Structure 1
Amino acid sequence: MTYADPLNDPFTGSGARWMDGRAALVTGAGQQGALPGVGYAVARVLAGHGARVAVLDRDPEAAARTVKLIDRDGGEAMAVLADVTDDRQVADAVSAVRERLGGLDAVVNNVAAGDPDGVFDVTPDRFAALMTVNLTSAWQVMRHTVPLLPRGGAIVNISSVTVAARGPGMVYSVAKAGLENLTDGAAATLGPRGIRVNCVRVGMIWGSFAAANLPEEHREPRREATGLRTEGTAWDVAQAALFLLSDRARWISGHTLTVDGGPSGATPVAAPSTPLP
């Protein structure tokens, strides 16, 4: 498939809308730069399928850009400003969403930050901060949004293929492994209430995060490291999240779906550090 415009979902208008009448919250959904981030792409795809989307981000300008593009295409969105590492801000953000949208049917936990230092090389403060942004924040968002979710509601957590990487341990990978375990536990806990919880494990896509933190010459080796020898984008992740949030996945819960272009046996090029919120 050719992506004529990297900031537009290539499947928009291709068929039935899977999220009509539903409300969704996507964290880290503000748009930065010329390429899509995962949260941005998920928000755009859900809106394109009829969802009213709460675009949560700590950067008001980034959130506003996403909302503007959703509005431009005839969707409905609201910007919600919050630092998801702060439980009080999460609670206030969820209250604002409930007041505006009346409730929630779907939640996507996308916020993350990394550090290339080994698990025993980081300071205790850095370790705690990385665990908070990559794991605790998702638990906080789920804790506050679960009371709003009806039977048939769904949660998707965004993980990374680095959880399965062999080599020097990184706190990011440890936290993402915890997130996948949290997904399993939440699915078992919320299953009797009819709420599904799944995870998307993201491969070495090329999007706003990679472009901002890696030199261009890393792009081709990352593409070659996939089994399909094609470059993944945030839209590929967003389509997987859409499926897991929709009724098409009504009997899927506690599952981690890997979106990485398939195994090749090659070692992928990892992304370097990004600043914490």
Structure 2
Amino acid sequence: MTPLINLEGKIGLITGIANEKSISTGVAEACAQAGAKLIITYQNDKTRAFIEPIVHRLGVEDVFLLDVTRPDTMDAVFAEIDARHGKLDFAIHSMAFAKRDDLHGRVVDSSPDGFALAMDVSTHSFVRLAKKAEPLLEKAGGGSLVTMTYLGSEKVIPNYGVMGLCKAALEAATRYMAAELGAKGIRVNAVSPGPLMTRAASGIAGFDGLMAAAVERAPMHALVTPEDIGALTAFLVSDAGRLVTGGVHFVDAGYNIMA
């Protein structure tokens, strides 16, 4: 009997892996275990060194530089995917950035340049990735795009600042692109994990307290793990999730439902 989550024969792009604790690491492992052939990107040479153990463990052959502030690198990645595979079945967007002052400061004090940079890297990069992926997903007969968001999109999270606005825009982009691409069989979804300690989260002041509060308030009294996020994402990009699109899907032990 074929497993429900079966990605055999599918080719997937995974972005945003920084180290072993990254959300994208859990996603890559889940997709690889389900049989997908993966393409992994890295932001710079320093990041490449940190992801080498993951690349070797998962047997990934296609590893490319992708810095979303440099359009030439995105062009190069998708040109390589087309040349090597001729199609793409799914792509995972897991990238976000804001300057420290804009992250920890008041939204009303955010700088124009800082706001523009945060929105470009955290939100519009998903739109650009979707545009580049669209023809390759069409060649596969349709496919799936998934981005990573957070509850700060709809609730005020201390020290999350301008990133909350970026995540709200990211979720809106998910809905609009799902509507625009659905006729081509392309699904677009967002996964919203509960708080977990990643390199990005370590830059948020008071994050340890946020995680402790999540364990206390969540109905299941547990913290999410990269493996939990990977399992949900693997479902969304699989044929089992073939009619799931345009949604924000929480994996947070129920934390988001509590007042």
Equivalent of residue 175 in structure 1, options 132, 142, 166: 166
User: 1 CA distance for matches of 2:78 and 2:155?
Assistant: 34
The one-letter code matched in structure 2 to 1:197 is V
Please tell me whether residue 131 in structure 1 is matched to residue 119 in structure 2: yes
Aligned-partner SS, 1:201: strand
Aligned-partner SS, 1:166: coil
8 A contact 1:47–1:76 mirrored in 2: no
Please tell me whether residue 140 in structure 1 is matched to residue 128 in structure 2: yes
8 A contact 1:87–1:140 mirrored in 2: no
The 3 A distance-change label for structure 1 pair 66 and 103 is farther
**Paired residue for 1:166?**
156
**Paired residue for 1:200?**
191
Structure 1 position 152, deviation (Å): 3.1
User: 2 CA distance for matches of 1:21 and 1:30?
Assistant: 26
Pairing 1:1-277 to 2, within 5 Å after superposition: 18-31=6-19, 35-63=20-48, 65-66=50-51, 68-73=53-58, 75-114=59-98, 115-150=103-138, 151-166=141-156, 170-211=161-202, 218=209, 219-263=211-255
Higher helix share: 2
8 A contact 1:206–1:233 mirrored in 2: no
Gap runs ≥5 in structure 1: 1-14, 268-277
CA distances 1:126-180 after superposition (whole Å, capped 9, x unpaired): 0111111111111111111111103231111111111111377822111111111
**Paired residue for 1:270?**
none
CA distances 1:242-261 after superposition (whole Å, capped 9, x unpaired): 11101111111111101122
Identical pairs, percent: 27
User: 2 CA distance for matches of 1:80 and 1:60?
Assistant: 11
8 A contact 2:78–2:133 mirrored in 1: yes
Number of matched pairs: 249
The 3 A distance-change label for structure 1 pair 264 and 240 is closer
User: 1 CA distance for matches of 2:161 and 2:201?
Assistant: 18
CA distances 1:210-234 after superposition (whole Å, capped 9, x unpaired): 3565679535334224231112112
TM-score, scaled to structure 1: 0.80
Gap runs ≥5 in structure 2: none
The 3 A distance-change label for structure 1 pair 223 and 210 is farther
User: 1 CA distance for matches of 2:56 and 2:198?
Assistant: 22
The one-letter code matched in structure 1 to 2:78 is V
Aligned-partner SS, 1:231: coil
The one-letter code matched in structure 1 to 2:64 is V
Structure 1 position 45, deviation (Å): 1.6
TM-score, scaled to structure 2: 0.85
